[in-house]
Structure 1
Amino acid sequence: MENKGLLIVYTGASGVGKGTIMKMLLKRNPNLRLSVSATTRKPRLGEQDGREYYFVSHERFDEMIAENGFLEHAEYVGNKYGTPKEPVFRMLDEGLDVILEIEVKGFLQIKKACPDCVTIFIAPPSFKELQLRLQGRGTESEEVIAERLRIAQEEMQHQHLFDYVVVNDDLERAVNEVLSIIAENKKKV
């Protein structure tokens, strides 16, 4: 029997550095694949359809929900996000480890559907540091930042539900900690 891949759910508050950590994880672990989510939000500068996200209309997103095409889906700050099922299951069957970078609402859905998944929450060193990181991006209005911070407070209250919590106070240490978590759990599969 072939080895199945490991399903990893990876989340944390907006601005905590999930994307930066993720880029380093993908460079250092050749068996790791990032699941590409679908979203109704507009692409940011430099983002490409099918690479960072599948950018779809609200109508197409609703069709995918009706077709039971998502492992999870949620609305976040006025846009919809979801993890398409088919590519995730295909990669797992090929023995690849698949990491889902999703929001807490999505994590709660995945944990019910896939209880054997490994769950990792990336936490900021402090709430003040998170606020500074979001403001430093310069990609959103003050209203959107305020909403993201409100949601971040809610999300951080769920971190105790995760298998692991990694504080991103030192990027290199955080990356190494996540890689160690993946390696340890891969031995159990």
Structure 2
Amino acid sequence: MEADIKAGKYLEHGEYEGNLYGTKIDSILEVVQTGRTCILDVNPQALKVLRTSEFMPYVVFIAAPELETLRAMHKAVVDAGITTKLLTDSDLKKTVDESARIQRAYNHYFDLIIVNDNLDKAFEKLQTAIEKLRMEPQWVPISWVY
């Protein structure tokens, strides 16, 4: 794996508890070439590699809601027993700030931005976008065609 990382065969890679992990570019291409939809959750820097005619991605950014909304959402899942992980106001603010930073830096890569201010509605918007992709032609940069 280390040799493949050095050879640039991974879109992303990292180490967790002493183990290497990553997403191979060939694995993504294999899925795409079979006509299936490849859904990736990537670090924003990976968009620079993906945003090519080889992959022709449709990039959806799931943005954090405003801080007050995020607080209320977190309280609701804690109160419902869905999570026991208590996040501090500082944690929530970091999430909102990081979301805004990513949006400023990478906005030109995004085809769609969904603000996750209601989980059910955000999921519905994502499903609608995916269905629309399957049914309707999409605009792509001219450089992807020629």
CA contact (8 A) 2:64 2:99 kept: no
Mapping 1:69-148, distance limit 5 Å: 69-70=9-10, 72-73=11-12, 82-112=22-52, 114=54, 116-127=56-67, 129-130=69-70, 133=74, 138=85
- Considering only aligned residues, what root-mean-square deviation do their CA atoms show, in Å? 3.7
**Does residue 180 of the first structure (1) align with residue 128 of the second (2)?**
yes
Q: Deviations over 1:132-155 (max 9, x none)?
A: 85xx77399xx9x59x64644421
**Does residue 157 of the first structure (1) align with residue 104 of the second (2)?**
yes
For residues 116 and 68 of structure 1, the distance between their equivalents in structure 2, rounded to whole angstroms, comes to 19
Unaligned residue ranges in structure 1 (runs of 5+): 1-59
- TM-score, with structure 2 as normaliser: 0.61
For residues 86 and 8 of structure 2, the distance between their equivalents in structure 1, rounded to whole angstroms, comes to 33
- TM-score, with structure 1 as normaliser: 0.49
Report the secondary structure of 1:91's partner residue.
helix
For residues 120 and 47 of structure 2, the distance between their equivalents in structure 1, rounded to whole angstroms, comes to 25
Decide whether aligned partners of structure 1 residues 103 and 87 sit closer, same or farther in structure 2, where only a CA change above 3 A counts.
same
CA contact (8 A) 2:64 2:70 kept: yes
CA contact (8 A) 2:29 2:55 kept: no
Unaligned residue ranges in structure 2 (runs of 5+): 15-19, 139-146
Decide whether aligned partners of structure 1 residues 125 and 152 sit closer, same or farther in structure 2, where only a CA change above 3 A counts.
closer
Q: Which has the higher helix share?
A: 2
Matched residues, number: 121
Match for 2:119 among 171, 175, 180?
Answer: 171
Q: Deviations over 1:77-121 (max 9, x none)?
A: xxx874212222222222211111112111232114646211100
For residues 42 and 119 of structure 2, the distance between their equivalents in structure 1, rounded to whole angstroms, comes to 20
**Among the aligned pairs, what percent are the same residue?**
17
Please identify the structure whose Cα radius of gyration is greater.
2
For residues 92 and 65 of structure 1, the distance between their equivalents in structure 2, rounded to whole angstroms, comes to 21
Match for 2:7 among 61, 67, 78?
Answer: 67
Q: Which has the higher strand share?
A: 1
